[in-house]
Structure 1
Amino acid sequence: MEIPIANIYYLLCYAWEALEEKDTLADVGALDSTDLLGLFARVLTNGTRRLLRRGLDRGYLPCEGEIAGVRGKLLTTPTLRRDLLRRARAVCAWDELEYDTLPNRILKSTFQRLRDEATLDERSRAGVHDVLRWLAPVQPLDLHARHFRRVQLHRNNRIYALLLHVCEFIHEHWLPSEQGGGRRFRDFVRERLSALFEKFVFEFYRHELPAKEGWKVSAPTFGWQVTEANADADALLPRMATDVCLARPGRAIILDTKFYTEALKANAYGSAKLSAANFYQLFTYLRQRAHMPGWEQAEGVLLYPRTLRDFDAKFTTQGHRVRALTLDLSRPWQDIHAALLSIALPASTEGPTVSPMSRGSSQRMRS
């Protein structure tokens, strides 16, 4: 499956809840890089230049040392031990307003990795070198996953959010080189695309469905509706975890995302069929949820990314409308947007259908 670089970027921005910045940090339509790392280098470069124009975020960092006079907290024991007071000096602890905040250090460390990446195109590399010169006052880190978990953003530095998501993504995909002697960036693997697809669909509906029309978007987990159960059943029965639930007065939808290399597989007679397990799972969700007010006749949707062919199967069973369809992630973004909305909004059902299009000259990545 081929997915344009621009669409990967949009999927990530929805999944990261960073929609406000997505168009200001990268003109994906004009991007001349054909790889994801080139896109991320451009996003980081443009975003950090904006930060530099605004002024890098600074924070108070703890300092301790011997100084002339007294500043902050006087550390009595080391001051007396060194007999510093006779020379009007003291050992003190104080807070210094510095650029060495954790977000800035993560940014610089990521730029240093990009600088050393041999596959980066020349234009992106020049931008990386330019930004690194401006980040000279910031000390780099030996980056680990724990550094990203420690970041705390607030209203005044929310501009860092998308940039740090990009840094974390690069860090997670920066793996030892197969040739040895260093590390290199690795593009998406299918398992990560599956998780991204699920998160994207949830955040898309959470952001795009109009709350003023009463839509609520959730991903609840719930247990089985049983009449009686012993202790082992209570302990061992798995809970059901939905991907996306869409609800408004008079309508409810349980949507399950499935990211497979091939959505259709041949049965014993050679006919292409959808996975029975997918339907059993979805129907179980529908029946177990049906006891709740408003969910008695909930609809079920299985959403697959398009691979070899498109399909849109619709049927009704036991009072539940069920639909299995594909979403072509190789299409222009506006068509993807309209196709997803058409699942939930009746006014959009006559809009663009999800079907193959000419590949054109879009820049793509392969998974």
Structure 2
Amino acid sequence: MIKDKSIYIRNIYYMLSYAFSVLKQKNYESIASENFEDVTDLCAAILACGTAQQLKQGLYREYVTFNDNLSVMRGKLDINGTIKNQIQNKRVLACEYDELSVDNIYNQIIKCTINYLLKSKTVKKERKDSLKKVNLFFDEISDIDISSIRWDRLMYQRNNKNYEMLINLCYFVFNSLIQTTWQGKYQMTTFSDEHMNVLFEKFVLAYYKKHHGDLNVVKSAEIKWNISDDADNNMIRFLPKMQSDIYLKVGERVLIIDTKYYTHTLQVQFDKHTIHSNNLYQIFTYVKNEDVDNSGNVSGVILYAKTDEDITPDCEFMMGNNKIGVKTLDLNADFSYIRMQLDKVADEFLYQCFE
């Protein structure tokens, strides 16, 4: 039986720090030095610290529409409402106007998350005390049903850019990403595979951006289909989009990385362990379509997060002049070892193989 996958709590903080670089600021230094036994407690600490910092700068305000009866004209006149007031002998005008308010969706989400964490049995008392302090400033903000939030419609611009990390953290808390089903002194079962894969991808991408400044390109990129110029455009539109998780380039050399976070790294059939066929077909397709001239300057890696399985893939192949690898990243190790593993992938597939 395969055991549940676990990750050191400290490493989750590091991954969040890379995914949301704001956590590397001095305001969060105290969190980085603490030992957390529960990831929910970690999220509570980050939210309390981030919200306190935001309060110093002022809560985000946006225009909200109000309807009210006023003695003087303000905004737009509500004709029907004013007539109704006249009939009732009320000498007031029904007005509709916009006013800057802190009672908006962004602050409502933060308030809702704070209240949720205050009820959590896994959040320590000192963290709850910090949350209670910042929650005092949310009295005039309305409660919200978390199920009604359209997370994909939330927009960030100059005035509320600081909210992006906090709102993403709230999303983690409320979308079943935190599963405290097993707890130990140093590690615990955490995010679900589907959502942990998103964090895993963001972390790896941000790591290469931070520590490999010699690379010309570090991004998530769309791979174009290598098709003839005279291809029928009506047919091309039926081709699926190829979106790589991570695209690294230095000079003419390219490394495409596809990150995968599964409970079971390998597929098993008749007691035979093999790489997930869809994963291998996918990375091979990316590489061959990117290497238009068949130069061999493009390589690809499927990067799995290590599980507790006895067999984990660590192999590489030359496929049609291109180097394809399947590697495993151990997230349940000291962070210095995680860095070494990521540097080794870039070294083997982007630097050494083209020397």
With the shorter chain as reference, the TM-score category is 0.7 to 0.9
Cα shift readout 1:118-157 (whole Å, capped 9, x = no counterpart): 3322222222222222211211111235343343322122
Structure 1 residues 329, 82: CA separation in 2 closer, same or farther (over 3 Å shift)?
A: same
Structure 1 residues 250, 172: CA separation in 2 closer, same or farther (over 3 Å shift)?
A: same
Partners of 1:312 and 1:325 within 8 A in 2: yes
Superposition pairs for residues 190-205 of structure 1, below 5 Å? Answer: 190-205=193-208
Please name the residue that 1:354 is paired with.
none
Please name the residue that 1:219 is paired with.
221
Cα shift readout 1:83-116 (whole Å, capped 9, x = no counterpart): 2898753222222332212211111111121222
Structure 1 residues 237, 74: CA separation in 2 closer, same or farther (over 3 Å shift)?
A: closer
Partners of 2:156 and 2:164 within 8 A in 1: yes
State the alpha-carbon separation in 2 of the partners of residues 162 and 263 from structure 1.
30
Structure 1 residues 143, 345: CA separation in 2 closer, same or farther (over 3 Å shift)?
A: same
Superposition pairs for residues 271-282 of structure 1, below 5 Å? Answer: 274=275, 278-282=279-283
Determine if the alignment matches structure 1 residue 111 to structure 2 residue 117.
no
Shift of 1:168: 1.4
Partners of 1:222 and 1:240 within 8 A in 2: yes
Please name the residue that 1:283 is paired with.
284
Structure 1 residues 107, 335: CA separation in 2 closer, same or farther (over 3 Å shift)?
A: same
Please name the residue that 1:243 is paired with.
245
Q: Which amino acid aligns with 1:37?
A: T
Name the stretch that deviates more: 61-70 or 74-83.
74-83
Partners of 1:219 and 1:241 within 8 A in 2: yes
Which secondary structure does the structure 2 equivalent of 1:138 belong to? coil
Structure 1 unaligned residues grouped into runs of 5+: 179-185, 351-367
Structure 1 residues 222, 45: CA separation in 2 closer, same or farther (over 3 Å shift)?
A: same
State the alpha-carbon separation in 2 of the partners of residues 174 and 343 from structure 1.
28
Determine if the alignment matches structure 1 residue 4 to structure 2 residue 8.
yes
State the alpha-carbon separation in 2 of the partners of residues 142 and 136 from structure 1.
16
Please name the residue that 2:302 is paired with.
302
- From 58, 62, 70, give the equivalent of 2:61: 58
**What is the TM-score when the length of structure 2 is the normalising length?**
0.77
Superposition pairs for residues 139-150 of structure 1, below 5 Å? Answer: 139-144=142-147, 146-150=149-153
Name the stretch that deviates more: 322-331 or 100-109.
322-331
**What is the TM-score when the length of structure 1 is the normalising length?**
0.75
State the alpha-carbon separation in 2 of the partners of residues 194 and 267 from structure 1.
24
Shift of 1:281: 4.1
Please name the residue that 2:94 is paired with.
91
Q: Which amino acid aligns with 1:3?
A: I
Structure 1 residues 236, 61: CA separation in 2 closer, same or farther (over 3 Å shift)?
A: closer
Q: Which amino acid aligns with 2:9?
A: I
Partners of 1:299 and 1:320 within 8 A in 2: yes
Which secondary structure does the structure 1 equivalent of 2:86 belong to? coil
State the alpha-carbon separation in 2 of the partners of residues 250 and 327 from structure 1.
26
Name the stretch that deviates more: 19-28 or 124-133.
19-28
Please name the residue that 1:159 is paired with.
162
Please name the residue that 2:40 is paired with.
37
Structure 2 unaligned residues grouped into runs of 5+: 182-188
- Determine what percentage of the aligned residue pairs are the same residue: 27
Structure 1 residues 240, 77: CA separation in 2 closer, same or farther (over 3 Å shift)?
A: closer
Determine if the alignment matches structure 1 residue 72 to structure 2 residue 75.
yes
State the alpha-carbon separation in 2 of the partners of residues 306 and 166 from structure 1.
24
Please name the residue that 1:253 is paired with.
255
- RMSD between superposed Cα atoms in Å: 3.9
Structure 1 residues 143, 34: CA separation in 2 closer, same or farther (over 3 Å shift)?
A: same
